[in-house]
Structure 1
Amino acid sequence: MPDHKQRAEILVQGIVQGVGFRPFIYRLADEIELSGSVKNLGDAGVEIILEGPKEKIRNFLNNLREKSPPLSEIQSIDVNYSKPQGIEGFEILESAEGGEGSGTIPPDTAMCDNCLEDMRDPESRYHGYWATSCVDCGPRFTVIRGLPYDRPKTSMEEFPMCDECRAEYEDPLDRRHHAQTIACPNCGPQLFSVPGTENPIEKTAEALQEGQIAAIRGVGGTHLACDAYNDEAVIRLMRRLKRLHKPLAIMARDLEMIEDFAKFSEEEQEILKSIKRPIVILDQIEGSPLSTEISEGLHNVGVMLPYTGVHYLLFDYIDFPVVMTSANLTGRPMLIENESIISELDEIADFMLLHDRKIVARCDDSVVRFSGGTRRFLRRSRGWAPSPIPLDLGEEPILALGAEFDNTIALYDDGNCYVSQHIGDVDDLETMGFLEETVDHLTNITNVEMPDKVACDLHPDFMTTELAEGMSDEPIRIQHHHSHLASILGEREIEEVIGIAADGIGYGPDGTVWGGEILYANASDFKRVGSLSKMLMPGGDKASQYPARMIAGIFYDSSDLPDILEKHARFPGGDEEREMVEEQVRERFNSPKSTSAGRTLAAASSLLDICQERTYEGEPAMKLESVAIRGTPLDVSPKLEIQEGRPVLSVQSMMRDLIDLKEKGEKREDIAATAQNVLAEGLAKIAIRQARELELENVAFTGGVAYNDAIGRRVREMIEGSGLVYVTNEKLPCGDGGVSFGQLIVASEFWQ
């Protein structure tokens, strides 16, 4: 019986512009022998008209999702059937008005396997060419200046296509059809080195082999590289950069090379090899040959695989992993311009590998860790930004300026939440300038007018708060931990939650420093229903830098404070500083109140003499975790009390228990594991109790402390074991990089 013909009118929505989607549809229809057309409708999606036998249309629809371009993200497919109209052949129609180049701009991604094969093929005209790309891979976000997304609106405008590139660009059956970054050695961007050489890749490899430091300019920024096995080279790099302790990311040629120094699960392997190519935090193997300076005092290390042609070509000449750390001076944005790289890295890099394509937008590497049974973003940047999170927050655009540390901004428009690339710590004018550039760039590439509605953090002294006041007559200020929990509400599209928000510090509405909170939260409001007990932060920020001060701050009201400090607290200024800090907490002078989980873990780290000075964010707690991973929690239960009308976990009781264990001679590893376990169980018990009292089923865990694997797993075990639903961040960082998204959620309710 003949297969009757049908007409199918298909609307595909999602990331389907600028990713080779229409040529893919053309090739698929040609292969299956269907007639029809494909048309870009811009923000409305892509319209496909098909005519042919029913079975072939069904075959087309099955392949539509399974074989779609790697940079596309199909959110919905709507199909309407009708009688055929006798269309002959298949064509790509001119885009609807405003459609060409509109829609969602995809992120930068790694070189695809086909382009890698072209670069490796001696018979290919792309052989050995570092900037080989197609519609399935390469730079997008970091080269586009504005819409529509075509070559004149990118930094590739300076590189006119040769005849051969033009022919591929115009051929709908070619995977480089309308690839805006198409280029070859004859017409594209070129590499060069400082000092100059005829073979810049080979000479860079030689410099690395000789223990030198190389600056390598990439697609979204610049890295500083050296031999990751060479202690002397790594130490020299850290000294020159003035990052003496902060862990460094490394790049390995392939999975086999990673196995020489780290272990990985199937999930970690999958994300390592994905086209997004983030840095993945992996546990090191015993006896790892990596320089111990790379992640001093930590059990893990950040690892990534090559993602540009330069990386692949470089590993043709070297057989060791290399440090790949962002080339930015302390507290300043990553360097992206050749002139700045040459002048500012002159005394840091021994050799420089540069290129002549402009980087329009800085974009750091993304960082991922599997902890607490969940894949977590420590940094959501290259490979993901600026891909939107679909969510209806109303009709009006909103701009959110995020947190002070690990900053991102977020922009809402017409059902999409765009979260920017990683910006950094906004505590200096240069990073503030980068933030303002990011606002301009994000609004340009999304075709959004600068919103009148602006959200920022509640803290009155943040630079972002001042910026918000200059952008809007009535900016909305949103409490830090409410934003954390609202980010989960938005991700999971749930209305209310009991949430644990545990991190370093956040400004509380009562003027104290929050950071270990159990909140009831919905999108419009929150209530504090539990916390850690109060402690002091003697010296304010100094207590964050020198965690021994937090021991004094925890026992501020104890009669045996002098004895505790003399026996268990180490101060860089010795007895004189100890006595000064003791007096400071007794007099409550310059000692703000706090309930910070991060500072509590830092105090435990100091008590066990694991870390006595914080040189980068989270260092004491991270090093505590690395010691605790070798231990087993001892039989210590959290002490819960009622203070100021709410249940609290007594940090004072917890620390006294740790001191008792220390004085009994228990292993440091076991005490460290106990500290984490008591904190996790105490916060979870309060959250579970409050969820049951309020008859809520969802209990959330977010904030920087949620990155800790042992704490995350214990909190999850207890929540799920109690029959409640555990929720956490999965699409965005649970640290401060997700705060801007949470601010959008809260702000949308304020302006309803």
Structure 2
Amino acid sequence: MPPERLRKAVVHVAGLIQGIGFRPFIYRLAVRRGLKGSVCNLGDAGVRIELYGPEEAIKDFLKALVAEKPPIAQYTRVDVDWQEFHDPGQVPPDFQIVPSDVRGKAREFSIIPPDIAVCKECLAEIYDPRDRHYMYPFTCCAACGPRFTIMTDLPYDRERTTMDEFPMCEHCAREFNDPLDRRFNAQTICCPLCGPRMALYTPDRELVDCEDPLAEAARLLREGFIVAVKGIGGFHLAVRADWDEAVARLRERRRKPGKPFAIMSLRAEDVERYAHLSEAERELLESPARPIVVLRKREPFPLSELVAPGLHTVGVMLPYSGIHHLLLHHARVLALVMTSANMPGEPMITNNERAFRELGRVVDYLLVHNRRIWARCDDSVARVVDGRPAFLRRSRGYVPMPVELPFEASGGAVVAVGPELMVTGAILRGRRCYLTQHVGDVEGPDAVEFLDSALSHLAHLLRLRDVRAVACDLHPAFLTRQVALAWAERFGAELVEVQHHHAHVAALMAEAGVPPDEQIVGVACDGVGYGPDGTAWGGEALLA
């Protein structure tokens, strides 16, 4: 038989491939087929793979690249350039993961990874007394853990995250460099010897002397105390959800008399004890994004009615980090209130110092850690409508993945700053709309600064250079308008004012995939909006 023809293939992959263990995945595919070459992270431009070997083996690799891709991976482009070569000396001795090339030029921007809930394999290690990650809340691997909230820049490598402040110990370094290990090239790898640590404090900054801060915080929660918990994207206020007195005390201190609190339970089986859970709702609840899912209460409702007073629904999420898993594991309660730690009109707290300063009169204890949160990110909120997720708030677990639109923006990017309440910023480039994390109500200087910094961080990751328009609400008194004016001046872009209710209808059209040249009648029932005639408009039926 004639010898198999050796070929070279250069493969370029773009999409959601950063920060999900993609290069180790490529390594395993190649080594399993006896292929030589390399894989390199190009940052903005995705990943470049060089393959040397028999043509059939390379073709089998390309099939597996699609069929066996990591669950969260999304490909927007796969280019294959077949090349002949005649000198066997060109063939590398093995297959390698080579250092990232940050000079790579983008042909299509790589999708930035969101934060991913801790995986089953890591959870098994957390609960295994024989494992070195036993009871360690920051356990993660190449396929799970924080991404967007700790990322300072692209490409996604440890030195461009806040994990750069925690040098790996020899055990973690060995796993990181072992191609056969699940943590091979896992940028957030850490353990009790070298990683972040938890600590429990009183509001007076007195360190609570205890062997395990998480277990002690859980004991205090079980007794009805209010604890501020620093997680992945910011601080939460936690209290047990089945005691009226404890929940009422949180409402009084938080100055939140009626708005519903989100709650967290350890597993879906616990949720079914107090809420109805369809198959689609369970799937969303257990998804890697771990959003808050709005569910129908069971009657009788075994938790405090003060959690969601006067409502037949309750917002529920499952733990998405080792911190939350261990807190609920030790607390041994059906559910904990887990609501964002921010004062009215201000963004979610992420900084330990600010938490001590602003939460001292709200909480009884503060459970903190020493890893910096680079980008605050509140929990996402969704409900299932007609079997599909409908977002009320798109944030942690989804941001900054883009939304594909039914039209394309040409001639430069468009930046939008949102209205005044429930604000999210956006950057439209081509057909992709990149949304910031949930900003909230922009009614004060801290919220204005947060909106500007959220857009700036997103623009930095997107390497934004050319902006042709900046959109804001038509209302002249909204504080978001200040951000829009500053961005328009910075880029020399046109300022576009959009009537509030028209924006709602246009957003619905985009979400439903209505082509831009198709007209609809949209009904916006959203109270007061500033009209183009300078008067207050109510709900409108608009031809759009």
Match of 2:48 in 1: 47
- The alignment status of 1:305 with 2:318, answered yes or no, reads yes
Query: 1:450 and 1:127, CA in 2 relative to 1: closer, same or farther beyond 3 A?
Result: farther
Q: Residues of 2 paired with 1:279 and 1:3: CA distance?
A: 58
- The alignment status of 1:477 with 2:497, answered yes or no, reads yes
Match of 1:261 in 2: 274
Q: Residues of 2 paired with 1:62 and 1:420: CA distance?
A: 35
The Cα offsets for residues 37-63 of structure 1, whole Å up to 9 and x where unpaired, read as: 323333333233444556544543343
Task: Please state whether the residue corresponding to 2:520 is helix, strand or coil.
Answer: strand
Q: 2:185 aligns with which of 178, 181, 196?
A: 178
Does 129-138 or 446-455 show the bigger shift? Answer: 446-455
Match of 2:141 in 1: 134
Task: Decide which structure has greater strand share.
Answer: 2
The Cα offsets for residues 407-463 of structure 1, whole Å up to 9 and x where unpaired, read as: 011123466431100000112222112112212222222232484632211112211
Asked whether the 8 Å contact 1:426–1:463 carries over to 2, the reply is: yes
- The alignment status of 1:494 with 2:515, answered yes or no, reads yes
Asked whether the 8 Å contact 2:43–2:156 carries over to 1, the reply is: no
Query: 1:146 and 1:264, CA in 2 relative to 1: closer, same or farther beyond 3 A?
Result: same
Match of 2:530 in 1: 507
Q: TM-score, normalised by structure 2?
A: 0.89
1:12: Cα distance to partner? 1.9
- The alignment status of 1:273 with 2:286, answered yes or no, reads yes
Query: 1:184 and 1:499, CA in 2 relative to 1: closer, same or farther beyond 3 A?
Result: farther
Task: Please state whether the residue corresponding to 2:190 is helix, strand or coil.
Answer: coil
Match of 1:284 in 2: 297
Q: 1:90 aligns with which of 83, 88, 95?
A: 95
AA in 1 matched with 2:96: E
Asked whether the 8 Å contact 1:26–1:173 carries over to 2, the reply is: no
Match of 1:440 in 2: 456
1:275: Cα distance to partner? 0.8
Match of 2:389 in 1: 375
Q: 2:352 aligns with which of 338, 351, 356?
A: 338
Task: Please state whether the residue corresponding to 2:288 is helix, strand or coil.
Answer: coil
Match of 2:368 in 1: 354
Query: 1:249 and 1:97, CA in 2 relative to 1: closer, same or farther beyond 3 A?
Result: closer
AA in 2 matched with 1:194: Y
Does 188-197 or 145-154 show the bigger shift? Answer: 145-154
- The alignment status of 1:109 with 2:116, answered yes or no, reads yes
Q: Residues of 2 paired with 1:81 and 1:49: CA distance?
A: 10
Q: Residues of 1 paired with 2:525 and 2:79: CA distance?
A: 43
The Cα offsets for residues 636-670 of structure 1, whole Å up to 9 and x where unpaired, read as: xxxxxxxxxxxxxxxxxxxxxxxxxxxxxxxxxxx
AA in 1 matched with 2:283: E
- The alignment status of 1:385 with 2:399, answered yes or no, reads yes
Task: Please state whether the residue corresponding to 1:22 is helix, strand or coil.
Answer: helix
Q: Residues of 2 paired with 1:152 and 1:83: CA distance?
A: 37
Match of 2:209 in 1: 197
- The alignment status of 1:60 with 2:72, answered yes or no, reads no
- The alignment status of 1:429 with 2:445, answered yes or no, reads yes
Task: Please state whether the residue corresponding to 1:394 is helix, strand or coil.
Answer: strand
1:500: Cα distance to partner? 2.1
Q: Residues of 2 paired with 1:125 and 1:84: CA distance?
A: 47
Alignment of 1:672-683 (within 5 A): none
Q: Residues of 2 paired with 1:349 and 1:180: CA distance?
A: 34
Asked whether the 8 Å contact 1:484–1:501 carries over to 2, the reply is: no
How high is the sequence identity, in percent, across the aligned residues?
A: 46
Q: Residues of 2 paired with 1:235 and 1:469: CA distance?
A: 42
Match of 1:678 in 2: none
1:18: Cα distance to partner? 2.8
Match of 2:259 in 1: 246
Asked whether the 8 Å contact 2:422–2:438 carries over to 1, the reply is: yes
AA in 2 matched with 1:139: P
Asked whether the 8 Å contact 1:363–1:421 carries over to 2, the reply is: yes
Asked whether the 8 Å contact 2:117–2:145 carries over to 1, the reply is: yes
Task: Decide which structure has greater helix share.
Answer: 1
AA in 2 matched with 1:61: L
Aligned pair count reads 521
Task: Please state whether the residue corresponding to 2:448 is helix, strand or coil.
Answer: helix
Alignment of 1:726-745 (within 5 A): none
AA in 1 matched with 2:342: N
Match of 1:620 in 2: none
Q: Residues of 2 paired with 1:394 and 1:181: CA distance?
A: 37
Asked whether the 8 Å contact 1:331–1:425 carries over to 2, the reply is: yes
Asked whether the 8 Å contact 2:505–2:524 carries over to 1, the reply is: no
Q: 1:99 aligns with which of 81, 90, 104?
A: 104
Query: 1:78 and 1:520, CA in 2 relative to 1: closer, same or farther beyond 3 A?
Result: farther
- The alignment status of 1:454 with 2:470, answered yes or no, reads yes
Q: Residues of 2 paired with 1:152 and 1:108: CA distance?
A: 18
Q: Residues of 2 paired with 1:230 and 1:382: CA distance?
A: 28
Task: Please state whether the residue corresponding to 2:179 is helix, strand or coil.
Answer: coil
Query: 1:353 and 1:513, CA in 2 relative to 1: closer, same or farther beyond 3 A?
Result: same
Task: Please state whether the residue corresponding to 2:412 is helix, strand or coil.
Answer: coil
AA in 1 matched with 2:382: V
Q: Residues of 2 paired with 1:439 and 1:421: CA distance?
A: 9
Query: 1:450 and 1:51, CA in 2 relative to 1: closer, same or farther beyond 3 A?
Result: closer
Bigger-Rg structure (1/2)? 1
Match of 2:165 in 1: 158
Q: Residues of 2 paired with 1:450 and 1:232: CA distance?
A: 55
The Cα offsets for residues 237-288 of structure 1, whole Å up to 9 and x where unpaired, read as: 1111111110010001101111110011111111111111000001111112
Q: 1:219 aligns with which of 232, 236, 239?
A: 232
Query: 1:46 and 1:457, CA in 2 relative to 1: closer, same or farther beyond 3 A?
Result: same
1:325: Cα distance to partner? 0.5
The Cα offsets for residues 495-521 of structure 1, whole Å up to 9 and x where unpaired, read as: 224142424233332334445433333
AA in 2 matched with 1:294: V
1:299: Cα distance to partner? 0.7
The Cα offsets for residues 114-134 of structure 1, whole Å up to 9 and x where unpaired, read as: 221222222222121111122
Q: Residues of 2 paired with 1:120 and 1:99: CA distance?
A: 41
Alignment of 1:566-577 (within 5 A): none
Asked whether the 8 Å contact 2:41–2:48 carries over to 1, the reply is: yes
Q: Residues of 2 paired with 1:160 and 1:288: CA distance?
A: 48
Asked whether the 8 Å contact 2:198–2:369 carries over to 1, the reply is: yes
AA in 2 matched with 1:90: F
Alignment of 1:646-725 (within 5 A): none
Q: Residues of 2 paired with 1:489 and 1:99: CA distance?
A: 36
Q: Residues of 1 paired with 2:10 and 2:337: CA distance?
A: 51
Task: Please state whether the residue corresponding to 2:326 is helix, strand or coil.
Answer: helix
AA in 1 matched with 2:318: L
1:397: Cα distance to partner? 3.0
Match of 2:205 in 1: none
Q: Residues of 2 paired with 1:171 and 1:510: CA distance?
A: 66
Asked whether the 8 Å contact 1:443–1:450 carries over to 2, the reply is: no
AA in 1 matched with 2:515: I
1:225: Cα distance to partner? 0.9
AA in 2 matched with 1:225: A
Q: TM-score, normalised by structure 1?
A: 0.65
- RMSD between superposed Cα atoms in Å: 2.6
